[in-house]
Structure 1
Amino acid sequence: MTSRPDGAAEQAARNLEEMKRMREIEEAILARAPENDIGPSLERIAAVMELAGDPQKTYLVIHLTGTNGKTSTSRMIDAILTETGLSTGRFTSPHLHDLRERISLSGKPIPRDKFIAAYEDVAPLIELVDARSLASGGRRMNFFEVLVAIAFAAFADAPVDVAIVEVGLGGSWDATNVADGSVAVVTPIDLDHTHLLGDDVVDIAHEKSGIIKAGSVTVSGMQDPDAAAVLAERAAEVGSPLRLEGDSFGVLSREVALGGQQVSIRGLAGDYPDLFLPLHGAHQASNLAIAVAAVESFLGGGEQALDAEILSAAVARMTSPGRLEVVRRSPTVLVDAAHNPHGARALVAALDEAFAFTRLVGLVGIVADKDATAILETLEPRLDHIVITRSSSPRAMAPAKLGALAAEIFGDSRVTVERSLPDALDRAIALAEEEGLGGGVIVTGSVITAGEVRLLLGITDV
């Protein structure tokens, strides 16, 4: 037997201890109320941050909200800022595989040791705030609030020059809103989480507009006129200049290219032609335009153009795992995290534009609180067959129930129900191959479904 050098053995032992401690921490966090079980108050997270010395005030923040596109846009902003040489932190949700994906340092998931250190810094403070809250008839901090506290502490400890922070849900009462963004970014607003945020885009826009603060610049994607009016009212109220896509900036042109698209962007301070974006769909080109305007606003108040070479390099290396991502060839299997009607519409448009399948099979699992009927109706014209399944999430809709909805929309002959996700993936691939070459599978309906299929196919990188 070959023995390891002492240093290697010590490192292996440290790694093992870190993995054990990470499992303990994850179990403790997951034992809390889930992130969609919110108490509409910033009191708990604000109290923890105050006890910690308000770490979220020690670096600049770009704060993002919206219905879809937040994570992709956050990653794009991060890529551009990292390319300029800044040290970045990024907080996004949900994750595909590993909790640490939600907290990134300079574009990479936070190392285990840094996650553990940040947790151990804030854990006693969280316990103290929990005890105070319970004593006064309140509630413990939920899963998401704890992760926000860890992220803000980790960013301060790194330290980072700027944090790119995506809200979890809404805006005004989201735990991330204890930070004040120098740039507030609002991606397109549509209907989602209506049981929590409101039944129409006006109510939802009011909630999301809460991240717009005095002294900030607001950058907004294309909006429904009523939603845009709400954002304009809030921006005027606090004195935040509002920059709207289609007015102040936008996509000048784009065309499909091998592995992505060629895009020309009009920013706030200049034009940026012929950028190769290795992502598919008009929605990703729009996300890029928003990201460029946000970075222009952050670096030069929207009055200084970005360096063309730096931007081109940053765009060329942009990724968005789980967003119309090719995870297998022959047949092609794509995963996409579309989980609401707005996301499904963007997915269908991108499929029509970028892929020419002779037969396309959908593999769909949807969370129970989503508008499954509208998602299925959006997908129906594009799919030849649909395989219904579920992810491991306890919130996933039962395959029998989702299958019954699908049968009403697709007809019985175009629907297969598989309770096991691995079996469903095998079945979808077999159906795609029935007519020979040219078939494909699109996996969609939730982030969890997309993430678990990535794992089944051996893909873990983000």
Structure 2
Amino acid sequence: MSMTNNDNNVQPLATYEEARQWIEGLVSFGIRPGMERIERLMELTGHPERRLKFIHIAGTNGKGSVCAYLTSVLLRCGYDVGTFTSPYITKFTNRFQYNGTDIPEETLLALANRLKPLVEEIADSELGSPSMFEVSTAIAILYYGTVSYPDFVVWETGLGGRMDVTNIVTPIVSVITNVGHDHMDILGDTIEAITTEKAGIIKPGVPVISAVAQPEAAAIIRDTAKAKKSSLYLLGKQFSETALKVSENEQSFRFDGLFRSIDELPITLNGAHQRTNAAVAVMTLEVMRQYYALILEDEDLREGLRSAAWPGRLEMVSQSPRILIDGAHNPEGAQSLALALTETYRYERLHLMVGMLTNKNHRDTLRHILPLVDTLVVTEPDFRKAMPSAELAELVQDLRESAGRSFELIVEPNWRQALERLQTLTEEADLAVVTGTLYLIADVRSQLLYNKDSEKGW
């Protein structure tokens, strides 16, 4: 039978914990392409997405950092900002932020109860059950469109772009950070195929900002923007950044854009890729200034960029021993990490701990990192899709000869014991790095910073 809000036999969820378990229990419905279920949820809730101004952000790497820069600057300018990101790193409520604060647990519970009968009604239809990500997206839209009413929503895609459920919205500006090798099992195995998916967020007449570097990717984005009559602002063409000062936890750059140049913008996030991410955020804000009369003072821009933080990306979570965590889970992320380890950090020996999921492009990821390490600790994330450490170690042994460096290989499936080994190994002048899937990063971060388990996940 079809269930509606009036049916007495739908049991409401009693606690936040129950609501979270109900949403995460929908994960078994997987990632199924198609917009029909989210469209139906929006229809049944009165289209709250139409009341909001979205900044839609897609890309392989750097999405979260661009979200962090934009949120930080817009808050500094005095705007109310919603920020929807994934995956979360400490707690499920991290994904739905309003003015930098997580959604209150009781609000999430109330919204889950509003959606649950509608989700069950759709599950009973030919559309099948909405997935976890679809329900999370609907909760975000209801939170921003019916509860908190921000001036802007910084809106990160979950996967791809074209068929991603976040594409239900028409934004005021679209951002495609970059394109690389990730989620190839779902998005296709060539840069062209992946770019075509990401370019799916480009909407008619909505300006696009991008830092894609590969000529074949840039061509697809340029053609899509042209076909949709959208103005394109491409890094290296309509805007650029020049490094001025680079040191650990502090760097600055000059921004040159189509509308103006801005000298000496500071950021505290590490790595050359973070200057690119910051430049993408600045160009986005410049477009919003031109098109939507955004009020943006230079001082607010500087302070907003400087105070932006993004957990789990080149984040120093311990000083004694020095432990750096970085979610470099694909080849491009590993390349950025390797560059930062060469340019930004100083150390005598480098000890690296890594854990991966089964569906990633590991050979190319490891290739960037292995030439730098003195010790490699291979472990397993505590997650259903974890790659067995023995399998990952086999791959490392395969690559060790070509890395041109002899390093010690330690295999420890239990991530907690692996972390203890890492801490013991790392002396005062050394640097320890934990990298790989964000599911491992989330656990290690919670353990080191809060000494408790994280709720990590999608």
TM-score between both structures, scaled by the size of structure 2: 0.91
Contact in 2 for aligned 1:61/1:183 (Cα 8 Å): yes
Structure 1 counterpart of 2:437: 446
Structure 2 counterpart of 1:153: 142
When structure 1 is superposed on structure 2, of 197-206 and 404-413 the one drifting more is 404-413
* Distance of 2:290 and 2:311 partners within structure 1: 30
Contact in 2 for aligned 1:171/1:210 (Cα 8 Å): yes
* Distance of 1:144 and 1:230 partners within structure 2: 27
| Equivalent residue letter for 1:195 | D
Structure 2 counterpart of 1:417: 411
Structure 1 position 432, deviation (Å)? 2.2
Contact in 1 for aligned 2:288/2:294 (Cα 8 Å): no
Contact in 2 for aligned 1:270/1:305 (Cα 8 Å): no
- Residue 90 of structure 2 corresponds to residue 100 of structure 1: no
Aligned match of 1:380 in 365, 370, 377?
370
Aligned match of 2:203 in 202, 210, 213?
213
Contact in 1 for aligned 2:353/2:377 (Cα 8 Å): yes
- The 5-angstrom pairing of residues 384-399 of structure 1 reads 384-399=374-389
- Residue 40 of structure 2 corresponds to residue 40 of structure 1: no
| Equivalent residue letter for 2:33 | P
Cα distance change on mapping 1:266 and 1:413 into 2, 3 Å: closer
SS at match of 1:163: strand
Structure 1 counterpart of 2:249: 259
SS at match of 2:393: helix
Aligned match of 1:77 in 70, 75, 86?
70
* Distance of 2:283 and 2:230 partners within structure 1: 15
* Distance of 1:45 and 1:150 partners within structure 2: 11
* Distance of 1:71 and 1:409 partners within structure 2: 31
Contact in 1 for aligned 2:248/2:345 (Cα 8 Å): no
- Residue 133 of structure 2 corresponds to residue 140 of structure 1: no
- The 5-angstrom pairing of residues 240-255 of structure 1 reads 240-255=230-245
Structure 1 counterpart of 2:60: 67
* Distance of 1:77 and 1:168 partners within structure 2: 18
- The 5-angstrom pairing of residues 200-239 of structure 1 reads 200-239=190-229
* Distance of 1:316 and 1:218 partners within structure 2: 24
- Residue 52 of structure 2 corresponds to residue 50 of structure 1: no
Q: Compare relative contact order (CA 8 Å, sep 6+) and give the higher one, 1 or 2.
A: 2
**Uncovered stretches (5+) of structure 2, i.e. residues with no partner:** 1-12
SS at match of 1:68: coil
Structure 1 position 253, deviation (Å)? 2.4
Contact in 1 for aligned 2:61/2:177 (Cα 8 Å): yes
Contact in 2 for aligned 1:182/1:215 (Cα 8 Å): no
- Residue 102 of structure 2 corresponds to residue 109 of structure 1: yes
Cα distance change on mapping 1:169 and 1:258 into 2, 3 Å: closer
- Residue 347 of structure 2 corresponds to residue 344 of structure 1: no
Structure 1 counterpart of 2:423: 429
Structure 1 position 269, deviation (Å)? 2.4
* Distance of 2:138 and 2:411 partners within structure 1: 41
* Distance of 1:355 and 1:258 partners within structure 2: 6
* Distance of 2:106 and 2:301 partners within structure 1: 32
- The 5-angstrom pairing of residues 174-189 of structure 1 reads 174-189=164-179
| Equivalent residue letter for 1:386 | L
Structure 1 position 358, deviation (Å)? 0.4
Contact in 1 for aligned 2:181/2:361 (Cα 8 Å): no
* Distance of 2:40 and 2:14 partners within structure 1: 30
* Distance of 1:368 and 1:265 partners within structure 2: 39
SS at match of 2:27: coil
Structure 2 counterpart of 1:87: 80
Structure 1 position 399, deviation (Å)? 1.0
* Distance of 1:298 and 1:291 partners within structure 2: 11
- Residue 303 of structure 2 corresponds to residue 313 of structure 1: yes
**Uncovered stretches (5+) of structure 1, i.e. residues with no partner:** 1-18
Cα distance change on mapping 1:34 and 1:216 into 2, 3 Å: farther
Aligned match of 2:260 in 270, 289, 293?
270
Contact in 2 for aligned 1:268/1:296 (Cα 8 Å): no
| Equivalent residue letter for 1:291 | A
Contact in 2 for aligned 1:293/1:302 (Cα 8 Å): no
Cα distance change on mapping 1:441 and 1:127 into 2, 3 Å: same
Contact in 2 for aligned 1:268/1:302 (Cα 8 Å): no
Cα distance change on mapping 1:383 and 1:305 into 2, 3 Å: farther
Deviations 1:40-67 (A, max 9, x none): 1000001001111111111111101010
Contact in 2 for aligned 1:267/1:289 (Cα 8 Å): no
* Distance of 2:233 and 2:162 partners within structure 1: 20
* Distance of 2:240 and 2:103 partners within structure 1: 33
Aligned match of 1:22 in 3, 9, 16?
16
Give the aligned CA root-mean-square deviation in angstroms: 2.0
| Equivalent residue letter for 1:221 | A
Structure 1 position 160, deviation (Å)? 1.1
TM-score between both structures, scaled by the size of structure 1: 0.91
* Distance of 1:223 and 1:302 partners within structure 2: 28
Aligned match of 1:199 in 174, 189, 192?
189
- The 5-angstrom pairing of residues 361-376 of structure 1 reads 361-376=351-366
Structure 1 position 305, deviation (Å)? 8.8
Aligned match of 2:344 in 354, 358, 367?
354
Cα distance change on mapping 1:207 and 1:175 into 2, 3 Å: same
Contact in 2 for aligned 1:269/1:302 (Cα 8 Å): no
When structure 1 is superposed on structure 2, of 402-411 and 175-184 the one drifting more is 402-411
Contact in 2 for aligned 1:269/1:305 (Cα 8 Å): no
Contact in 2 for aligned 1:269/1:304 (Cα 8 Å): no
Aligned match of 2:391 in 377, 401, 421?
401
* Distance of 1:270 and 1:114 partners within structure 2: 42
Q: Percent identity?
A: 33
| Equivalent residue letter for 1:418 | E
* Distance of 1:291 and 1:216 partners within structure 2: 16
